[in-house]
Structure 1
Amino acid sequence: MKRRGPTMVLAVAAIEVGLLSGSASFGDYRLNLTPSEPLGLWRIEAPSRAIAVADLVFVCPPVTPLFEEARRRLYLARGLCPGGVAPLIKAVAALPGQKVEVGEEVRIDGEILPSSRLRQTDGAGRALKPFAGGIVPPGTLYLHSHFTSSYDSRYFGPIPENGLLGLARPVLTVDP
């Protein structure tokens, strides 16, 4: 009988996570289960101003061969975005007109982007091809995650801002 309390707490927690998972894919809420940002429940908030560097956003990636390959490699979860993938949660690292240089790490307008060292291979040992760099084109965003193994613009480059769902706001999260 002494174990009933902790067991009951765990059971209730599991049920709550299940309910959150089921409801998180509807409306303005998303469940983040990737280490790119804290794990948990996030809300998508419509921006009341122009998107700025350092904003944390949810964005649907474009349907391109590069993202189709990323889905096959399991870099992207299944979801409700076009192409059947889940939205990405990333920080905006550069806006149109900014210069992105890619070497061992990324520089934005000459400044090193923190936590931007590139990897040569993914966790399965497959080669990763980095973005070549250049000026961020109009209508696109250069996205980044401080998580070393994140699949972000270091590899896929700027993506169309028309896939922007909104700002990412934590509701109930925990750092991995």
Structure 2
Amino acid sequence: MKKPIKILAVSVLVVSVSLFVLSIGFQISGIYINTTPSLPVGFYRIVDEPIVSGAYVAFCPPQIEVFDMAINRRYLNRGDCPGGYGLLLKRVFAQSGDTVFIDQAGIFVNGEHLPNSAQLKADADGHALPQYRLQSVLDDSEYLLLSDLNPQSFDARYFGLIARDQIRQVVRPVFTWSH
């Protein structure tokens, strides 16, 4: 009876170490793996392109209270960003010169309502979500980052704008698939 348990333990260890080594290899080669429903699941590659509306970006969240809450509630992973936050991947929906309006009904950019952008009052566990409000014309250092795929995504509708210096890279999908 002890032999199958040993084999299982060794197998789990081998798989865990293999996945760890593979993830390091991806990071070194400039590949991100997205497993969240905020963007299409799959592999994203760092590209040398400007930050424009429609681009996907990887960013370090700023060290503010809403991201501390997000870590505690496991909306985002721990990582190497300041504050112990993990990098987030989101899509750029507004940049310099765009007019942004955020309320419970959703996010409007230049008067156009963005799909799946309405704020929820509570998360799946019943915890109250921040009810962020904004009406602004964005300056050169401000970006609106969110998911248009997932109406439950933790994004700009709850934390607002992200500064240019928080954005690490522009990323492009290499291989993605539906949930």
What TM-score do you get using the length of structure 2 for normalisation? 0.80
**Where do 1:1-176 residues align within 5 Å?**
18=19, 19-47=21-49, 49=50, 51-103=51-103, 104-135=105-136, 136-146=138-148, 147-176=150-179
Note the C-alpha offset of 1:70. 1.1
More helix as a share of residues? 2
Query: How many residues of Structure 1 are paired with residues of Structure 2 in the alignment?
Result: 162
2:6: which partner in 1?
A: none
The answer as to whether partners of 1:93 and 1:142 remain within 8 angstroms in 2 is: yes
Counterpart-to-counterpart distance in 1, 2:27 and 2:92: 23
Partner of 2:92, secondary structure, is strand
Partner of 2:170, secondary structure, is strand
2:4: which partner in 1?
A: none
CA gap 1:82/1:27 in 2 versus in 1, 3 angstroms: farther
Partner of 2:121, secondary structure, is coil
Note the C-alpha offset of 1:161. 1.1
| Residue ranges of structure 1 left out of the alignment (5+ in a row) | 1-13
Note the C-alpha offset of 1:118. 1.6
Moved more, 25-34 or 143-152: 25-34
Partner of 2:108, secondary structure, is strand
CA gap 1:160/1:27 in 2 versus in 1, 3 angstroms: farther
Partner of 1:151, secondary structure, is coil
What TM-score do you get using the length of structure 1 for normalisation? 0.81
Partner of 1:150, secondary structure, is coil
Matched-pair identity in %:
34
1:9: which partner in 2?
A: none
Please report the RMSD computed on the Cα atoms of aligned residues, expressed in angstroms.
2.3
Counterpart-to-counterpart distance in 2, 1:62 and 1:77: 14
Partner of 2:157, secondary structure, is helix
The answer as to whether partners of 1:37 and 1:175 remain within 8 angstroms in 2 is: no
Note the C-alpha offset of 1:155. 0.7
Amino acid at match of 1:129: P
Amino acid at match of 2:102: V
| Residue ranges of structure 2 left out of the alignment (5+ in a row) | 1-14
